[in-house]
Each structure stands twice: as structure tokens, then as C-alpha cells.
Amino acid sequence: MDRTASQLAALGLPVQLPVLALRLTLQRLVMEAGANRDFAPSHHDPDYARLRGADTAYANPDFVAGFFERVLREYAGPASVLVDLQFRLKRHALLGSTIRAGGQVAFLETGPDGQVVAVIDLWQRSDDTLTVVGRARVRLAAVTGR
């Protein structure tokens, strides 16, 4: 279901997004590295990552962005448009951990064209460790049938 500005306004702000979780497996890291052509060994080779000072292989920024987009789409719906996504990596999301991501709608903006954009604060955790914080701007679906 697509979220509209009137639905968000009826809920009141801030609105919590549902938390999504997935296990960070080696297969997932290898597939993701292949899909975005990021062949830095530390993103899919645990031994190499340890040689470079990490505990094990870890997710790359494209994984982080993709998982955030999934959270945003689950919340705002497929007709929404991701206008802007910014995030800061604080720690590695490590192989074998469970990644959780969520956020909250902080406020709504109305653009000059009248379209409503939700400004959403985001976070990701690797098990109990906060790994990423960010902010997205998502243009909400237009109300249809008027």
C-alpha cells in the first residue's frame, strides 16, 4: 500500500517505520558484491578482511543503501520516489550478524509543485551494535481517485 500525506498526518508525527531484519550470510555478501561489481575482498572474504584489521567480512555501502531503500519501500509503497538518501557508516555490519533497519518520519515537506515529501531518520544495527545512521527524503504517492 502506498502512503499518502493525509494518511501520515492522521497518524501524527513522528511515525515509526517497521523494523526489517535479515541474516548477513556469506552467500548474501558474495551475491551483493557481484551485483554491484564491488570486488573489494574485505566485503566477501573473511580471511582477507581479518588481514586488513576487521573481525570478518562486512557489508559494503551499496548493501546499506539497498537495505535502507527496502525499508523505505516497505513503508511508503512502490509508487513513492526516493528523492535523497544520505548516511554515515559508524561500524561494520559483520558477516554472520543479523542486520536490522528502521526509522521514523521526522517531518513532512511540501514542495513548490505541491507534492509531499516525508523526511525520514534511519538507522541500521548489526546485532546490538549501531552501524549506520541516515536520513532520506521520500516523495509520497499522489492521492488518486479525486
Q: Yes or no: say if 70 and 20 are a contact pair by the CB < 8 Å rule.
A: yes
126 is written with which cell numbers? 548489526
Class in CATH terms, 5-139? alpha beta
Residue 146 has pLDDT above 90, yes or no: no
Q: Is 35 helix (H, G, I), strand (E, B) or coil?
A: helix
pLDDT of residue 9: 58
Whole-number percent of the chain with pLDDT over 70: 88
pLDDT of residue 50: 95
pLDDT in tens, 22-65: 999 999 998 888 888 888 888 888 999 999 999 999 999 999 99
pLDDT of residue 36: 84
Q: Yes or no: say if 140 and 80 are a contact pair by the CB < 8 Å rule.
A: yes
Residue 145 has pLDDT above 60, yes or no: no
pLDDT of residue 22: 95
**10 Å Cβ neighbour count for 1?**
10
Q: Where are the beta strands (DSSP E) in the chain?
A: 15-16, 20-23, 81-89, 98-110, 116-126, 129-139
Q: Is 8 helix (H, G, I), strand (E, B) or coil?
A: helix
Q: Per-domain residue ranges for the chain? A: 5-139
**Mean pLDDT in residue range 96-104:** 97
pLDDT of residue 144: 45
Sign of the CA dihedral 69, 85, 78, 123? positive
